[in-house]
Amino acid sequence: MTQPDYFVALTECHFINPGAMQEISYYPGFSRWYQSVDGVLRAWSGHTLAEMGGGTEDRAGGPPTGADLVKCMDEAGVDVCFALREPMMDVSGYTTSMSTNAYVMNIIEPHPERLYLECNVGPVVRRGLEHAIWELEFLVKEHGARLCKLYAPEDAALNDKRLWPFYEKACELDVPLTVHTGEAYVLPQPSKYTHPGLLDDVLLDFPELKIIAYHMGWPHSEELIGLAGKHQNLYLSLSGIIGWLARAPHRGYHMIGESLQWAGPEKIVMGLDLSFHEMTRVVDFVRNLEMPEELQKNWGYPEITDEIRANILGLTLAKLAKIEPTKRVG
- For the segment 256-290, what is each residue's pLDDT rounded down to a tens digit? 999 999 999 999 999 999 999 999 999 999 999 99
pTM passes above 0.85? yes
**What whole-number distance in Å separates Cα of residue 8 and Cα of residue 328?**
9
28 close to 287: Cβ distance less than 8 angstroms: no
| Alpha carbon of residue 54 to chain centroid | 20
146 close to 321: Cβ distance less than 8 angstroms: yes
What pLDDT does 53 receive?
60
**What whole-number distance in Å separates Cα of residue 109 and Cα of residue 17?**
16
**In sequence order, what DSSP letters do the residues of 302-330 get, joined into one string?**
PP--HHHHHIIIIIHHHHHHT--------
Q: Tally helices (H) and strands (E) across the chain.
A: 15, 8
Arithmetic mean of pLDDT over the chain:
95
What pLDDT does 57 receive?
45
How confident is the prediction along the chain (330 residues), in pLDDT tens digits per residue? 577 999 999 999 999 999 999 999 999 999 999 999 999 999 999 988 777 665 444 434 468 899 999 999 999 999 999 999 999 999 999 999 999 999 999 999 999 999 999 999 999 999 999 999 999 999 999 999 999 999 999 999 999 999 999 999 999 999 999 999 999 999 999 999 999 999 999 999 999 999 999 999 999 999 999 999 999 999 999 999 999 999 999 999 999 999 999 999 999 999 999 999 999 999 999 999 999 999 999 999 999 999 999 999 999 999 999 999 999 997
For 52, half-sphere exposure in the C-beta direction (CA atoms, 13 angstrom radius) is 20
What pLDDT does 63 receive?
82
Q: Which residues contact 6 (CB under 8 A, 6 or more apart)?
A: 77, 287, 309, 310, 313, 314
Which amino acid, one-letter code, is at 193?
A: Y
- Order of strands, edge to edge, in the sheet holding 147-150? 9-15, 80-85, 115-119, 147-150, 177-180, 211-214, 234-237, 268-269
What domains sit in the chain, N to C, each tagged with a CATH number?
A: 9-321 (3.20.20.140)
Q: Measure Cα distances from 76 to 72, 98, 279 in Å.
A: 6, 27, 6
